[in-house]
Structure 1
Amino acid sequence: MAKQKQEMQFRYYEMPEDSFVLALTGQSWVRAYGDGIDCLHFHNYAEIGVCHEGEGEMVYEDTIRHFEPGCLTFLPPNYPHTTNSKPGTLGFWEYLFVDCEGLIEYMFPRRKASARRMLDRLYRQAFFFCPGEAEGLWDKVCRVLEEQKEKGEYYRQETDALLCLILTDIVRLEKESAAVRVPIPEEGMEDGDLERLRPALQRIQEHYQEELYIGQLARLCALSETHFRRLFTDCMHLGPLDYINSVRIHSACVQLRSSNKSIRSVAFGCGFSSISTFQRNFRKFVGMSTKEWRDKPENYEYKLNQYKINRYEGW
């Protein structure tokens, strides 16, 4: 008889029109958190929370942290968690649910690679800050909460600017983890070199799932293969083939982290011709096997497949 899956709740929120943030504020959030709830939950947007009053526990899948006034949290979308007040007491939290994808696209309107890398780093882990540990972040988050409550002149513009700073601060705090870093062509490249390589870089980004030939990429750039290889390596600090495989492995990491697809399906879907070639390149760029990587704590989305998910509209 198959083992019954443990329950988990998916609590989803609707984002206000033309906004990157939904603020949950005010006295309605003075409550006994976790009362009558015995399972974890996750959201469709990133959650930023500040604790004003009360004590208790923040429970992640494999970690428990004590909270008190002055604590601040950042949780990526789909991150399992719950908040439990100390028995017999009330807590007071206020929350921001943030459309990080939309906001980061707004920050990088013409730099998709930079936007993708920032979002990838932002979603790798949750953050829990004790009182006084992140005073700059605390101040910015509280300013957003106040702007959302008061809705003064240009409050949306002020909120967007503050949220951009908040996400940037969080990305800077993100720990180095085992994930392939695809070089970003916009960084550290002369404009002329970028323009010469742009057709090849675009072809790789759009068609990495297919078989790609270095000679064809060179012809797209109107360069000899020898000149193309030399220029590409000088600019990207990777040879063309290694760069192609790094893009493929990055895509594989995203799929392994966020879906229940088989290793075989991911490997062939990302453009590798065999499982052995995929596994060899995965270890080369990530430093471990696919199973070891998939079991790491930051790959929390994959672990959702172990639960029975019940869908609820957010409070």
Structure 2
Amino acid sequence: MQKAEYRYYEISQDMPVLVLTGEKWETVYGMDNMHFHNYLEIGYCHYGKGTVQLAERELTYDAGTITFISRNIPHRTCPDPEKADEKQKWEYLFVDFDTILKKCFADAPEKYTKLKKDLEQKVFVLDQKSNKRAVELMQMIIEEEQCKRSNYKYAILTFGLNLLLFFDRLDQKETEEKPLSDTMDYIRKLINYMELHYMENIMAKDLAKSCELSETHMRRIFLEYTNATPLEYLNLVRINKACELLMKGNCSVESVSEQVGYTVLSTFMRNFKKITGLSPNSWRKKALEDPENIGAYQVSVFKGW
């Protein structure tokens, strides 16, 4: 059975795009493991050649290719075997599109809901002929993040929205999409269910019902594919949401605990410390004192590269 690693990335509350670029991403890429992320991944290949594998299908890439892979979709990048010892150069954006859409469509909730639903289903691997505008927007985001000129955060938000709309308008048939394998589809359904219902008293039977599996089988495939139990992932989601509430500064720890689905305060405190390394009050104090570096105080388990 092919496993899929869960690679978690931290994104600041007020900066919904994480930029990964530089020397680290200009290297010899070995055979990657199948994995999925907690945020949308957009990648640009400056040079290199190979395939992007998504469950039971493969899409080729080379210099100038741009990839768009929604969160929770298992995938991996595999260099061309004949060029396996050669360097490749990639740049990546990890995008919290939910935050971007909420900010930009605050007065149009129906548009926010539709766009979010559409983007969560999309996967694209586009060659140079099809992606010119997307590459331009991606490079503008990278430049703004690196230079940090006046109002750069607003510029990134604007360019980010335009980038999302570019992909939303593309014809999904261009990807030659085939269904995900059954097991990976189950994993995605489980993750989506937890992210939608984390504030509720979720039981194992609820998770099993969401993907029409037995509780035993549900637990087994989730652990085998993600190297985490469903409860560990649920705790990660809940603590992430707790961090968002704590940043607002006006909620008590007890209230935050209840809002993210914990019925026992001590359980919340224990999981918060385990995942972040800090107590809720200590995390909030440091985050409020230094909001620009909030990533340093966010959840750090299952982290990506």
**TM-score band, normalised by the shorter chain?**
0.5 to 0.7
| Residue of structure 2 in register with 1:54 after alignment | 48
Indicate how the Cα distance of structure 1 residues 78 and 257 shifts in structure 2: closer, same or farther if over 3 A, else same: closer
Q: Is the 8 A contact 1:8 1:40 kept in 2?
A: yes
CA drift of 1:171 comes to 1.1
2:108 maps to which of 107, 111, 117: 111
| Residue of structure 2 in register with 1:309 after alignment | 226
| Residue of structure 1 in register with 2:139 after alignment | 142
Number of residue pairs aligned between Structure 1 and Structure 2: 195
CA offset digits 1:173-221 (Å, max 9, x no partner): 1538xxxxxxxxxxxxxxxxxxxxxxxxxxxxxxxxxxxxxxxxxxxxx
Summarize the alignment of residues 93-112 of structure 1 with structure 2, pairs less than 5 Å apart: 93-112=90-109
CA drift of 1:260 comes to 8.6
| Residue of structure 2 in register with 1:19 after alignment | 15
2:120 maps to which of 90, 108, 123: 123
Q: Is the 8 A contact 2:31 2:77 kept in 1?
A: no
Q: Is the 8 A contact 1:122 1:174 kept in 2?
A: no
Q: RMSD over aligned Cα, in angstroms?
A: 3.0
Larger Rg: 1
Structure 2 spans left out of the alignment, 5+ residues: 174-185, 193-210, 213-220, 229-301
| Residue of structure 2 in register with 1:259 after alignment | 190
Q: Distance in 2 between matches of 1:6 and 1:127?
A: 22
Amino acid at match of 2:59: R
CA offset digits 1:128-159 (Å, max 9, x no partner): 10122121111111111121122222211111
Q: Is the 8 A contact 1:260 1:305 kept in 2?
A: no
**DSSP 3-state at the match of 2:226:** strand
Q: Is the 8 A contact 1:57 1:64 kept in 2?
A: yes
Indicate how the Cα distance of structure 1 residues 70 and 256 shifts in structure 2: closer, same or farther if over 3 A, else same: closer
Find out whether 1:132 has 2:129 as its counterpart: yes
CA drift of 1:55 comes to 1.5
**DSSP 3-state at the match of 2:159:** helix
Bigger helix fraction: 2
| Residue of structure 2 in register with 1:85 after alignment | 79
CA drift of 1:256 comes to 11
Amino acid at match of 1:166: L
Amino acid at match of 1:313: K
Q: Is the 8 A contact 2:72 2:191 kept in 1?
A: no
Q: Is the 8 A contact 1:24 1:95 kept in 2?
A: yes
Query: Which stretches of structure 1, 4 residues or longer, exceed 3 Å deviation after superposition?
Result: 304-307
Moved more, 120-129 or 141-150: 141-150
**DSSP 3-state at the match of 2:77:** strand
Q: TM (normalized to structure 1)?
A: 0.56
Identity of aligned residues (%): 28
Structure 1 spans left out of the alignment, 5+ residues: 177-254, 262-290, 295-303
Find out whether 1:162 has 2:159 as its counterpart: yes
CA offset digits 1:87-123 (Å, max 9, x no partner): 1111110000000111111111132222111100111
Q: Distance in 1 between matches of 2:222 and 2:133?
A: 36
Indicate how the Cα distance of structure 1 residues 256 and 10 shifts in structure 2: closer, same or farther if over 3 A, else same: closer
Q: TM (normalized to structure 2)?
A: 0.58
Q: Distance in 1 between matches of 2:166 and 2:137?
A: 10
